[in-house]
């Protein structure tokens, strides 16, 4: 096989269909979602008009997405960028979240059947509860505890900035089963919505951007769940309390799940930046006569260079997810993808606003909104700095050489 960057016509067409729909049906509510910190009330009707099957966070969709020659993860990149090109408020009502990815990575076959399968087959939404007030990047600092009490685990602690936390079907909560045993004793637990002792302390934060996404603070107060909600639970020796075998520690599962999703994060940023660039290009074309010729030629080269930069960001995403589809190691490539795209997407949006002049930053356009939204992408699910630590380990040949 020779190297080829051509996606199949089918996938390209599928993406285009979703993207057109997103512009037509989703974008008109982008400002609403920002101002009201919520999707429009009739979001269900909007989702129903989508020409392709997408589940919703609370109502299962039986139809499955078609398969393509490229594989699931590459398809998902195309779908993610296309869906969010109109505006990404749609993610908050249809996005599956990433909690179920932890189940897939760490769960027993029974747990996978119970918690992972239904989400991918029918839709639904899951949350990932790792971050706490005192830490984000340093996941060894988990303070939330899980204590065995008969056939239950009892959780106590606070999780913050949990995406979809206040609405998801379940939250995968990371908690220490034995503080003295250090980070290896951190395990992952499935806590279904409505479990007694699981409180949504704050449904949504007041944020710079992605305001319609639910970012919740969750409180666990003597929250008891069955023992088999501990991911990887077999009732055998490797189960908590205490340190887990490396492959089954909560942290390795958490980080593995994040790795799978990293390129999708970048794809969301590319959607925002490409949308900004396309809007700016149209407006600038209309204003062409108002620019001095020497300046217009620089505007044109800026536009071209920005498109090229976004194109490169797509390439590193595709590479990471192509490896993922082939089940080949892609840890470094996934970090490359997440580190590479988002900061350049920020710059593209900013430059587009600048080229448009002061009106470019007015709320009459969506660029200013996307400039606020895009900033999170280089922070959550492993910041740009954290991705560099991971890439650095590959460059220098070992974990111990890079901190």
Ligand X SMILES: Cc1cc2nc3c(=O)[nH]c(=O)nc-3n(C[C@H](O)[C@H](O)[C@H](O)COP(=O)(O)OP(=O)(O)OC[C@H]3O[C@@H](n4cnc5c(N)ncnc54)[C@H](O)[C@@H]3O)c2cc1C
**Residues annotated as catalytic (active site), given as ranges:** 381
CB of 36 to other proteins, least distance (A): 11
| 226 phi and psi angles, rounded to 5 deg | -60, 150
How many CB atoms sit inside 10 A of residue 227's CB?
16
Name which of residues 109 to 138 contact other proteins (CB under 8 A).
131, 134-138
b (16+ CB within 10 A) / e for 150-175:
eebbbbbbbbbbbbbbbbbbbbbbbb
> Which residue reads 């840890």 in tokens?
331
Closest of 131, 93, 89 to residue 217, by C-alpha = 131
Does the protein bind ligand X through residue 204 (CB under 6 A)?
Answer: no
Does the protein bind other proteins through residue 205 (CB under 8 A)?
Answer: yes
Does the protein bind ligand X through residue 175 (CB under 6 A)?
Answer: no
Name which of residues 23 to 62 contact other proteins (CB under 8 A).
31, 34-35
| 389 phi and psi angles, rounded to 5 deg | -60, -40
Does the protein bind other proteins through residue 207 (CB under 8 A)?
Answer: yes
Does the protein bind ligand X through residue 161 (CB under 6 A)?
Answer: yes
Range in contact with ligand X (rule: CB under 6 A) among 28-36, 144-152, 241-249, 375-383: 375-383
Residue 384 contacts residue 308 (beta carbons within 8 Å) = no
Tokens representing residue 149 in the block: 């009490």
CB of 63 to ligand X, least distance (A): 27
Does the protein bind ligand X through residue 129 (CB under 6 A)?
Answer: yes
Strand residues in 18-169 grouped as ranges (E):
126-129, 145-149, 152-163
DSSP state of 112: I
Closest of 249, 220, 103 to residue 152, by C-alpha = 220
Residue 128 contacts residue 102 (beta carbons within 8 Å) = yes
In this chain, which residue has its C-beta nearest to ligand X? 136
Residue 155 contacts residue 220 (beta carbons within 8 Å) = yes
Fill in the per-residue mask, 153 to 172: x = in contact with other proteins (CB under 8 A), - = not in contact. --------x-----------
Range in contact with ligand X (rule: CB under 6 A) among 35-43, 88-96, 361-369, 382-390: 382-390
Name which of residues 209 to 248 contact ligand X (CB under 6 A).
210, 215
340 binds, among other proteins, ligand X, none (CB under 5 to 8 A by kind): other proteins
Fill in the per-residue mask, 259 to 288: x = in contact with other proteins (CB under 8 A), - = not in contact. ----------------------------x-
355 binds, among other proteins, ligand X, none (CB under 5 to 8 A by kind): other proteins
How many CB atoms sit inside 10 A of residue 333's CB?
24
Name which of residues 361 to 390 contact other proteins (CB under 8 A).
361-364, 368, 371-372, 375-376, 378-380, 383-385, 388-389
Strand-strand pairing, 215-226 and 145-149: unpaired
Candidate residues 305, 357, 385, 395; the one interacting with ligand X per rule CB under 6 A: 385
Name which of residues 339 to 358 contact other proteins (CB under 8 A).
339-340, 343-344, 346-348, 350-351, 353-358
- SS3 labels along 133-174: CCECCCHHHCCCEEEEECCEEEEEEEEEEEECCCCCCEEEEE
Tokens representing residue 367 in the block: 């660029």
| 126 phi and psi angles, rounded to 5 deg | -130, 155
How many residues of this chain bind ligand X (CB under 6 A)?
21
User: First-to-last CA distance in the chain?
Assistant: 39
Does the protein bind ligand X through residue 343 (CB under 6 A)?
Answer: no
CB of 75 to ligand X, least distance (A): 23
Tokens representing residue 387 in the block: 């991705």
130 binds, among other proteins, ligand X, none (CB under 5 to 8 A by kind): ligand X
Does the protein bind other proteins through residue 208 (CB under 8 A)?
Answer: yes
Range in contact with other proteins (rule: CB under 8 A) among 65-73, 178-186, 192-200, 338-346: 338-346
Give the 3-state secondary structure of residue 251.
Answer: helix
CB of 223 to other proteins, least distance (A): 23
How many CB atoms sit inside 10 A of residue 262's CB?
26
Tokens representing residue 321 in the block: 């997810």
Would you tell me which residues interact with other proteins (CB under 8 A)? Answer: 31, 34-35, 131, 134-138, 140-141, 161, 205-209, 287, 290-292, 294-295, 298-299, 301-302, 305-306, 309, 312, 339-340, 343-344, 346-348, 350-351, 353-364, 368, 371-372, 375-376, 378-380, 383-385, 388-389, 403
Would you tell me which residues interact with ligand X (CB under 6 A)? Answer: 127-131, 135-137, 161-163, 207, 210, 215, 376, 379-381, 383, 385-386
């Amino acid at each position: 096989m020779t190297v080829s960057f051509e996606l199949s016509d089918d996938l390209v067409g599928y993406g285009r269909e979703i993207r057109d729909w997103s512009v037509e049906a989703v974008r008109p509510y982008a400002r609403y979602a920002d101002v009201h910190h919520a999707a429009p009330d009739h979001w269900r009707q909007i989702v129903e008009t989508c020409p392709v099957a997408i589940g919703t966070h609370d109502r299962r969709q039986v139809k499955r997405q078609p398969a393509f020659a490229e594989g699931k993860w590459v398809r998902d990149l195309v779908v993610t960028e296309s869906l969010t090109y109109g505006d990404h408020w749609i993610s908050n009502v249809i996005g599956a979240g990433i909690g179920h990815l932890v189940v897939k990575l760490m769960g027993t076959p029974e747990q996978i059947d119970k918690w992972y399968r239904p989400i991918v087959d029918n839709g639904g939404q899951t949350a990932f509860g790792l971050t706490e007030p005192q830490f984000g990047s340093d996941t060894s600092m988990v303070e939330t505890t899980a204590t065995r009490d008969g056939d239950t685990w009892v959780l106590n602690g606070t999780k913050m900035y949990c995406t979809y936390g206040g609405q998801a079907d379940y939250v995968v909560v990371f908690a220490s089963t034995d503080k003295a045993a250090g980070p290896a004793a951190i395990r992952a637990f499935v806590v279904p919505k409505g479990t007694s002792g699981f409180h949504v302390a704050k449904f949504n934060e007041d944020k710079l951007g992605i305001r319609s996404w639910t970012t919740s603070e969750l409180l666990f107060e003597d929250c008891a769940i069955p023992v088999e909600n501990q991911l990887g639970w077999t009732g055998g020796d490797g189960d908590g309390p205490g340190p887990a075998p490396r492959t089954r520690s909560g942290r390795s599962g958490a980080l593995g799940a994040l790795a799978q999703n990293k390129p999708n994060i970048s794809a969301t940023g590319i959607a925002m930046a490409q949308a900004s660039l396309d809007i700016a290009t149209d407006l600038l074309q209309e204003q062409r006569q108002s620019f001095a010729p020497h300046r217009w030629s620089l505007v044109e080269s800026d536009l071209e260079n920005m498109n090229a930069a976004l194109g490169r960001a797509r390439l590193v995403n595709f590479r990471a997810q192509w490896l993922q589809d082939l089940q080949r190691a892609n840890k470094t490539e996934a970090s490359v993808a997440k580190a590479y795209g988002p900061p350049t997407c920020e710059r593209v949006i900013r430059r587009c606003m600048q080229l448009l002049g002061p009106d470019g930053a007015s709320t009459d356009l969506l660029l200013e909104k996307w400039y606020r939204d895009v900033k999170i992408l280089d922070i959550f699910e492993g910041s740009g700095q954290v991705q560099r630590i991971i890439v650095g380990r590959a460059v220098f040949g070992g974990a111990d050489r890079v901190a």
